[in-house]
């Protein structure tokens, strides 16, 4: 399936332009915007379909969890549980180039694609006034990876964003060049120990001066860059590339097949990505222990879906 062409309007920083960008985000669109670190490619973090569109626009071969951007501390507290260390870090460095990985709050209602189906969420309150104006006007938490096609460098100007993503996003807010130019520093607090998960714009030494030494990432839980989370693993056994279910199996379908659940009856990869985690979670909740999965084309978002399914099917 071809990626639908999008308008990719270049917007300025007037109130009218920010309002237009905010409406687009709140309505499920893709809007690139500047932060103090790099330009992000934003979408409503509660909207499965919009988040799936981020991966499609970036042409990512795999899903990885995304940072959720908020405009203020109350919004952050509604999405994640802050322990005293998290509160200290937020008080010292937010708004700023620091991302905190924290346990999801009950009722956070984020798309499972944002957390890769895991129990933790990465939160960031950017220092950029423009970014905070946009997020607060949109009134939704904004999932935003860097606004570049997969495998290219993170963009620090609107021209740079359009060079990579023209026709694949709805708009870019042009706020001029980013001041910091490298991504935020990521600190994980999900297991109670502060860990440096990614060095970035806020020096680790500065963080350590505030809260003491940062531990290394928990190496057991990292298999590749960007996979620093405990991934969602279904309880049942998955059989991939199945034309039809065998006795004792239910079919997780794709395309016009008779299936227990269908990722996308019309064969739309973006819809399939949006449904992936929800359907796996439903099958788990139903206690299905043998799940056949229809073949998914290995192009575009299909590569990310297949990557995720292969990992879910791997023996544990
Ligand atoms: O400066 C930045 O952080 C930029 C701007 C746009 O804010 N954003 C950015 O996003 O760099 P991205 O997609 O490159 O960073 C996502 C990374 C993942 O690869 C992973 O390392 C970490 O953040 N991450 C996100 N959610 C996580 C989670 N739930 N658990 C652990 N790590 C997570
Ligand atoms: Mg990136």
pLDDT of residue 227: 42
Please tell me the predicted confidence (pLDDT) of residue 288: 95
C-beta separation of 110 from 79 below 8 A: yes
Could you list which residues have their CB under 5 Å from ion ligand 2?
Answer: 146
Helix axes 15-26, 129-138, angle to 10 degrees: 50
pLDDT for 304: 83
Closest alpha carbon to 257 in 244, 268, 269, 238: 244
Length of the chain in terms of residues written: 316
Question: What values do phi and psi take at 204, rounded to 5?
Answer: -55, -35
- CA-CA distance, 53 to 304, in Å (whole number)? 12
162: left (phi over 0), alpha (psi -120 to 50) or beta: alpha
Instruction: Flag whether the pTM goes above 0.85.
Output: yes
What's residue 154's pLDDT? 87
Question: Would the CB of 67 count as within 6 Å of ligand 1?
Answer: yes
- Nearest alpha-carbon partner for 35 in 165, 145, 169: 145
> Rounded to an integer, what distance in angstroms lies between the CA atom of residue 129 and that of residue 34?
10
DSSP state of 265: T
Q: Check if 38 has its Cβ closer than 6 Å to any atom of ligand 1.
A: yes
The answer, yes or no, to whether any atom of ligand 1 lies below 6 A from the CB of 108, is no
Question: Does residue 110's CB lie within 6 angstroms of at least one atom of ligand 1?
Answer: no
Confidence (pLDDT) at 228 = 38
Q: Which atom of ligand 1 is nearest to the CA of 121?
A: 29
pLDDT for residue 151: 83
- Nearest-atom index, ligand 1, CA of 118: 29
**From the CA of 66, which ligand is nearest?**
1
144 lines ligand 1 (CB under 6 A): yes
Q: Can you give the pLDDT of all 316 residues of the chain as single tens digits?
A: 445 689 999 999 999 999 999 999 999 999 999 999 999 999 999 999 999 999 999 998 888 899 999 999 999 999 999 999 999 999 999 999 999 999 999 999 999 999 998 999 999 999 999 999 999 999 999 999 999 998 888 899 999 999 999 999 999 999 999 988 889 999 999 988 999 999 888 989 999 999 999 999 876 554 444 443 445 677 889 999 999 999 999 999 999 999 999 999 999 998 998 888 889 888 988 999 999 999 999 988 888 889 889 888 887 6
């Amino acid at each position: 399936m071809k990626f639908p062409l999008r308008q990719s309007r270049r917007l300025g920083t007037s109130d009218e332009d920010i309002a237009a960008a905010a409406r687009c985000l709140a309505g499920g669109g893709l809007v690139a915007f500047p932060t103090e670190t790099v330009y992000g490619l934003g979408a409503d973090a509660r909207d499965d379909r919009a988040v799936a569109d981020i991966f499609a626009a970036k042409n990512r071969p795999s899903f990885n969890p995304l940072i959720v951007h908020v405009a203020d501390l109350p919004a952050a507290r509604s999405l994640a549980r802050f322990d005293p260390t998290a509160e200290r870090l937020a008080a010292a460095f937010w708004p700023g180039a620091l991302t905190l990985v924290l346990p999801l709050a009950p009722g956070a209602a984020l798309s499972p694609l944002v957390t890769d189906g895991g129990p933790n969420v990465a939160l960031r309150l950017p220092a950029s006034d423009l970014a905070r104006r946009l997020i607060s006007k949109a009134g939704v938490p904004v999932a935003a990876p860097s606004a570049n096609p997969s495998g290219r460098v993170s963009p620090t100007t609107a021209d740079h964003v359009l060079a990579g993503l023209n026709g694949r996003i709805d708009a870019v807010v042009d706020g001029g060049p980013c001041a910091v130019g490298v991504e935020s520093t990521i600190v994980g607090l999900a297991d109670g120990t502060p860990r440096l998960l990614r060095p970035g714009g806020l020096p680790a030494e500065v963080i350590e001066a505030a809260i003491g030494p940062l531990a290394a990432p928990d190496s057991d839980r990292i298999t590749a860059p960007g996979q620093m989370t405990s991934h969602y693993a279904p309880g049942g056994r998955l059989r991939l590339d199945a034309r039809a279910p065998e006795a004792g199996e239910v079919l997780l379908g794709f395309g016009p097949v008779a299936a227990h659940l269908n990722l996308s009856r019309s064969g739309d990869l973006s819809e399939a990505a949006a449904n992936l985690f929800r359907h796996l979670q439903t099958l788990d909740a139903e206690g299905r222990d043998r799940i056949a999965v229809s073949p998914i084309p290995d192009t575009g978002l299909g590569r990310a879906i297949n990557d995720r399914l292969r990992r879910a099917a791997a023996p544990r």
